[in-house]
Structure 1
Amino acid sequence: MQAGRQMLERTAVCRAALYLLAAGVALTSEARWSCPPSCRCNSAALEVNCSGGQFTNVPDGLPREAKLLNLTHNTIKTLVHQQFHTLMQLLHLDLSDNLLVVIEVEAFLGLQGLLTLRLSHNQLKIIPVGAFAGLTNLQLLDISSNEILVLLDFTFSDLAALQFITAADNDLVFISHQTFTGLNSLQELQLDGCNLTAVPTEALTQLSALKTLHFQRLGLATLPNYSFRHLMHLKELVISHCAWLETLSGNSLFGLNLTSLTIKHCNLSAVPYIPLHHLVYLLYLDLSFNPITYIHGNLLGDLLRLQEFHLVGGSLLRIEIGAFRGLEHFRLLNVSRNLLTTLESGAFHSVDSLRALGLDSNPLACDCRLLWVVRRRLYVNFGGRPPACTTSAQLQDWNFLDFSEAELPSLLTCRQPRILNRKRQEARVDQGHTVVFYCSAEGDPVPSVSWLNPQLRPLSPIGRVRALSNGSLEVRYAQPQDSGTYLCVASNAAGNDSLPVSLRVRTFPSSSKNPFRLKGWPTFPSASPGENGDQKLHFDVKTLLIAATIGFVSFFSSVSVCFIFMLFWSKSKGQIKHTATIAYVPRSAVSSSNGGTGNYMETSRFTMKLI
């Protein structure tokens, strides 16, 4: 019994000692991590969370060993000089969602190890030079959702290790040329300023290592030439929510070797083919939410490595045949929420390489042009939003990917074009008249009508001889060289139909039965070559008589003026002899004298009276 009692006493003593030791350790840790009121501290993770603590200033008594400090959702207005100098171990500082208006110079001095600093959703209007002094290891800076108007020279010069800046959702009106000086390691920059009317090209030239650049809400109508010069390492460019941006100048992207380009929520009415053509390393192109109506054929072939093309929420009416020709690596096309009635397989270099297709929310007509989509449904990802028929009465709102192979031949059909009026059209007109030939066709889908000239070359909708939008052919001010047979061609996915029309143009008619024909004269545009190649010019007799009369009258008028002038001139010289004696030797006398031996030569005289 005695031995047992002693054993119990020893056990109790040991338990008491262990309890006191544990309590002592807890008290020591608590003393070291004395949390300010309204804050929550985690000594194991070295975190201090003062979010939503209704602080108007940075609280005192923060643990010196803290590595993360969260001061979000308070009413702090000012950061004073060396505000956090006691927190030398701090790695992450978050001051988002406060009322910050002033950050004094060297406010963060002493935080040499700080890696991330977040100042978003405050009321900063300007950041003084030197505010970030001492943050030599900072890698991420977030100053988004403030009221910053101007970024001054050398604002970030102390942040040599900075890799990421976001300044989105501000009111920037000006970025000084030396703003980004010293940011030699910056990899990504996000800028937002609805009042910026120009790309800060000079400021961006300081960012030689930049790889990603985001622009939002710029007040630009066009993107000027050489906007991003010297950004040779830039790989991703995003321009968004620029409501006035309508065009890109031809060399606006010159000097860039992009792999990703996004221009969305802007006002582009056409794909910027010329600025894009040199981007041979481009893999990703997004032009969504622009009022682009057409993707034309054979204009994107220079983008040899392009894999993805996005144009969601646009105004696309048509993707032409050959639109993506030459793009051997093309994998994804997303044209959801547009106005497309079809998408033909001929638009692609090869449909076999296509892996993803967004075609939903388009007024698709289910006919033979979409047969290829159904047959590749097992190999193409539609993102859970398969296309549906909306303009076909028979298949209204049907998901045509559900059709069986047996149903396809009878459901997805096309009808070959047929020109309605097959009557041969012939026109014989005089030179200078205007001629119109009509051609209309029917088919399913509605066929397109084009015209070929006598040399079988397509006619454009502009010029003197042109194909009109209603399918007609117009020849204005017809000339003899316009004569020949023109061909109307109606075509759709099921085939084509054609109809020839004939035009003969006569030269200007002559009013005389026997006109003059002058050989060797140059031919006027209205003249036609002669049978033997001689150039002939036709004259009307009446016209010739009028011209001759005008010429004679002009000649006699000139002679009369000369005589009148001589008369007055002679009167001004006083008395002048009106007779003159002229001596001459007859020709016969000269001949006799040369042949004879004598020296006699007879001279004759006569008198002439001046009138």
Structure 2
Amino acid sequence: MQNWQFSLTSCFYQSAGLQMFLGIMLNWAALYLFGAGIALSSEIQCPQTCFCNASEQMVNCTFIQLTTIPNNLPLNAKSVSLTHNKIRSLGSQQFQGLTRLHELDLSDNILAIIEVQAFVGLQALVTLKLARNHLKIIPVEVFSGLPKLQLLDISDNEILVLLAFTFRDLPSLRCLKASQNDLVFVSHNAFTGLTNLQELYLDGGNLTEVPTRAITQLGELKTLNFHHFGLVMLPNFSLYPLGHLKELVISQWAMLETLSVNSLFGLNLTSLTITHCNLSTVPYIPLHHLVYLVRLDLSYNPITYIYKNVLGGLLRLQEFQLVGGSLLHIELDGFKGLVYFRVLNISRNYLTTLESGIFHSINTLKVLGLDNNPLVCDCRLLWVVKRQSYLNFGGNLPVCTKSSQEEELNFLEFSQDEISRLLTCRRPRIRRRKKQEVTVEQGHTVMLYCNAEGDPWPSVTWLNPGLRPLSPIGRLRALPNGSLEVRYAQPQDSGTYVCVASNAAGNDTLPPKNTTQDFPFDVKTLLIATTIGFLSFSSSVCLCFIFMFFWSKSKGQIKHTATIAYVPRSTMSNSNSGNCAETTGRFTMKLL
């Protein structure tokens, strides 16, 4: 019993001591928090009408009609937003004391003037946004005192000139956005000092040339965005030698019609975008050396055809986009050689079909954009139906129409019966089967005809006597209507020409047609030449006899004989050396 009382008493004293200790600690904690609160309140004094978040050290002063920068911004603020106000100017050292500030947003004001050293003191600033203001010129040293700045946005202003050394005090800058301005001049040294810049967004405005000398100083540049240039052609060596550039975007060049052969020389791009321009063909030659290109976007250009076997040099190409163009046809083998091809988006064009033969392999294709095209329901779309479970259509399913119907049909949801009834083709048939032999004179033109029918409408190919396809150009050419034209026929054109009609269901061949050329000198020409020669000879003989007739007259007497002396050559040569010939040969010719 005594031992138990002692233990109980000991526990009582221990618990009382613990309570006293906890009370003292709570008092000290309360005093500490009170003192910290006083210090915090002195450091975060939120300007009137602004919203401050003490835990995130953020100050939000948007949409409150400010005309100047508030004077009592919290000194330990990390983010300050002053957007959508009416601030007109920034004075020198306007933000002095905000040494912890990481982000400053002054977008959507009416800023027209920024004085030199306006941002001095913001040594921790990482992001500065001045977009959508009324800046016309940025003085040199405006951005001094920002050693850690990584993103600068001066887009959507009215900037006319980028002066030399404007950004030289920004050694850490990685992204510069200067699009949507009215630039008329960019100094060759405008970007001097930007040794770490990796992204540049530049608007051509009223520039008459690409600022090549200024841009090529950016040796570490990886992304370049060009907007609103007024050039018809991208000149040679425009971006040489930006060897680290990986992504190039050319957009809103309304007059751009072509790229010079060496316009992309020296680049190792992985992504190329040329959109909202005036390209009528895919610029195959300027692109052929871009063996590391993965993505190619040519959307919103009036491109009508993609020809076969011209993109095969882009060995690593995985994505091709041509949205909103004028695409009428993609030839078979159009993407031949692209073994890694995965994404094709050709929405909003004028394609009537998409055949599986345009791909190197349909098994690699994962994304297909084919909507908003006037597709025709036939067997050429069967491969899309069979592989729809492997394809991503981006939520926009393609539809097709039958020639006899105007209703658009979702062919991806066809039943097996509808597929066999609607997605069908009819093998081509050449109408005129009779073998023809044509003879033509040299230098004349001859036409050979081949009329075929089928569903879909077949294409006609002509093979020369060596069984090689004839092209649409040249002296011997295959015309779009299926005819063969042989102009200025020559003997070597003789031989057998074969007509082949083909569509997705098969092909048909016309029995050989012979075009036989005459010999180089035909009968008519030979007769004319013989007649002319005979007349010339006869007239010469007649003239000779007439001359001899008048010559033979002497004092009214006609001599019927003429004596002609013949002197041998040896005799004449001996006479020159002093030895005279004693006799000469004499001949008598009787005139009849």
TM category (shorter chain) comes to 0.7 to 0.9
Distance of aligned partners of 1:280 and 1:439 in 2 relative to their CA distance in 1, 3 Å threshold: same
Residues 512 and 351 (structure 1), Cα distance of their counterparts in 2 relative to 1, 3 Å cut:
closer
Contact residue 105 and residue 128 of structure 2 kept, 8 A: yes
| CA-to-aligned-CA distance 1:300-328 (integer Å, 9 cap, x gap) | 11111111111111111111111111111
Distance across 1 between alignment mates of 2:322 and 2:97:
53
Q: Which residue of 2 is the match for residue 205 of structure 1?
A: 216
Shift of 1:289: 0.7
* More displaced 10-residue stretch of structure 1: 182-191 or 484-493: 484-493
1:495 and 1:438 mapped to 2: Cα distance?
20
For 2:302, the equivalent position in structure 1 comes to: 291
1:241-260 equivalence runs, <5 A: 241-260=252-271
Q: Provide the residue aligned with 1:495 in structure 2.
A: 506
Aligned equivalents of 1:303 and 1:553: distance in 2?
80
8 Å Cα contact 2:496/2:513 also seen in 1 = yes
Asked if the contact 2:240/2:267 (under 8 Å) is kept, the reply is: yes
Question: 1:470 matched to which residue of 2?
Answer: 481
| Alignment-mate amino acid for residue 337 of structure 1 | R
Whole-Å separation in 2 of the counterparts to 1:127 and 1:437: 71
Q: Is 1:437–2:455 an aligned residue pair?
A: no
- Structure 1's 226 and 391: CA in aligned 2 closer, same or farther, altered over 3 A? farther
Would you say the 8 A contact 1:510–1:540 is kept in 2?
A: no
2:433 equivalent to 1:422: yes
Partner of 1:178: 189
Q: Distance in 1 between matches of 2:68 and 2:108?
A: 14
Q: Which amino acid aligns with 1:543?
A: G
Identity score, percent? 61
Residue 32 (structure 1) aligned to one of 28, 31, 43: 43
Q: How far off its partner does 1:429 sit?
A: 2.7
1:41 aligned counterpart, secondary structure: strand
Normalised by the size of structure 2, how large is the TM-score?
Answer: 0.83
8 Å contact kept, 1:414–1:493: yes
Matched, 1:504 2:516: yes
- Partner residue, 1:64: 75
The match for 2:281 among 252, 255, 270 is: 270
Query: Which SS does the other structure have where 1:341 is aligned?
Result: coil
User: What is the 5 A alignment of 1:371-520?
Assistant: 371-393=382-404, 396-499=407-510, 500-507=512-519, 508-510=521-523
> Aligned pair in 2 of structure 1 residues 227, 550: CA closer, same or farther (>3 Å)?
farther
Closer, same or farther: CA 45–506 of 1 in aligned 2, 3 Å: same
SS at match of 1:170: coil
Shift of 1:544: 4.9
Q: 1:200 to 1:553 in 2, by over 3 A?
A: farther
Name the structure 2 match of 1:129.
Answer: 140
In structure 2, do the counterparts of structure 1 residues 20 and 154 end up closer, same or farther at CA, with 3 Å as the change threshold? closer
For 1:311, the equivalent position in structure 2 comes to 322
Find the aligned partners of 2:310 and 2:543 in 1 and give their Cα distance. 67
Residue 345 in structure 1 maps to residue 335 in structure 2: no
Q: Partner of 1:69: helix, strand, or coil?
A: strand
Residue 194 of structure 1 corresponds to: 205
**Deviation at residue 124 of structure 1 after TM alignment:** 0.3
Which deviates more from structure 2 when the two are superposed, residues 89-98 or residues 46-55?
A: 46-55
Q: Residues 47 and 68 of structure 1 are in contact (CA less than 8 Å); yes or no, is this contact kept in structure 2?
A: yes
For 1:522, the equivalent position in structure 2 comes to none
What's the counterpart of residue 564 of structure 1? none
Deviation at 1:25, TM superposition (A): 5.7
Could you tell me how far 1:430 is from its partner in structure 2?
2.3
- After superposing on structure 2, the runs of 4+ consecutive aligned residues of structure 1 that deviate more than 6 Å are 14-24, 550-554, 601-604
Given that 1:512 and 1:541 are in contact with CA atoms closer than 8 Å, whether structure 2 keeps it comes out as no
Q: Distance in 1 between matches of 2:383 and 2:85?
A: 59
State the Cα deviation string for residues 438-495 of structure 1 (Å, max 9, x = none). 2211100000112112222222222222222211122222222222221121111111
Deviation at 1:288, TM superposition (A): 0.7
CA distance in 2, matches of 1:427, 1:167: 69
Name the SS of the counterpart of 1:157 in structure 2: coil
Q: What is residue 545 of structure 1 aligned with on the other side?
A: 535
Shift of 1:547: 7.6
Say if 1:84 and 1:485 are closer, same or farther in 2 by CA, change over 3 A.
same
Structure 1's unaligned 5+ residue stretches are 1-13, 516-537, 555-586, 591-600, 605-611
Distance 1:60 1:545, change over 3 A: same
CA distance in 1, matches of 2:478, 2:304: 22
Do the aligned partners of 2:171 and 2:196 also contact (CA within 8 Å) in 1? yes
Verify the 8 A CA contact 1:243 1:266 in the aligned structure 2. yes
Contact kept in structure 2, 1:225 and 1:254, CA below 8 Å: yes
- Counterparts in 2 of 1:449 and 1:82: CA distance versus 1, 3 Å: same
Number of equivalences? 528
1:119 alignment partner, one of 120, 123, 130: 130
Aligned match of 2:104: 93
What SS does the aligned partner of 1:369 have? helix
Q: Which stretch shifts more, 462-471 or 360-369?
A: 462-471
**Structure-2 residue corresponding to 1:151:** 162
Is contact 2:197-2:221 (8 Å) kept? yes
* Aligned-partner Cα distance in 2 for 1:281–1:18: 63
Is this contact kept in 2: 1:511–1:540, CA < 8 A?
Answer: no
Contact 1:58 1:76 in 2 (8 A): yes
Segment of structure 1 superposing worse, 485-494 or 181-190 = 485-494
Instruction: Quote how far apart the aligned CAs of 1:496 are.
Output: 1.2
Structure-1 separation of matches of 2:498 and 2:223: 54
**Distance (whole Å) between structure 2 residues aligned to residue 88 and residue 48 of structure 1:** 15
Q: Distance in 2 between matches of 1:458 and 1:322?
A: 16
**What CA RMSD, in Å, does the superposition of the two structures yield over aligned residues?**
3.0
Distance 2:370 2:335 in 1: 16
Q: CA deviation at 1:17?
A: 11
Aligned pair partner of 1:43 in 42, 54, 67: 54
Question: What is the CA–CA distance in structure 1 between the aligned matches of 2:241 and 2:71, rounded to whole Å?
Answer: 47
Q: Aligned pair in 2 of structure 1 residues 99, 552: CA closer, same or farther (>3 Å)?
A: farther
SS, match of residue 447 in structure 2: strand
* Deviates most, 186-195 or 456-465: 456-465
Separation (CA, whole Å) in 2 of partners of 1:552 and 1:167: 97
Change (3 A) 1:20 1:479: closer
CA distance in 1, matches of 2:191, 2:582: 114
Aligned to 2:96, what secondary structure does the other structure show? coil
State how far apart, in whole Å, the 2-side matches of 1:140 and 1:551 are.
Answer: 104
Cα deviation, 1:116-137, whole Å, max 9, x if unaligned, reads 1000010001101111011111
Can you list the C-alpha shifts for 1:14-72, whole angstroms capped at 9, x where unaligned?
Answer: 99999999777655533332222222222222222222222222121222222211111
Q: For 1:227, which of 226, 234, 238 is the aligned residue?
A: 238
Report deviation, 1:552: 11
Q: TM-score, normalised by structure 1?
A: 0.81
Aligned with residue 313 of structure 2, among 302, 308, 317: 302
1:81 to 1:511, Cα distance in 2 relative to 1, 3 A: closer
* Contact 2:341-2:364 within 8 A present in 1 as well: yes
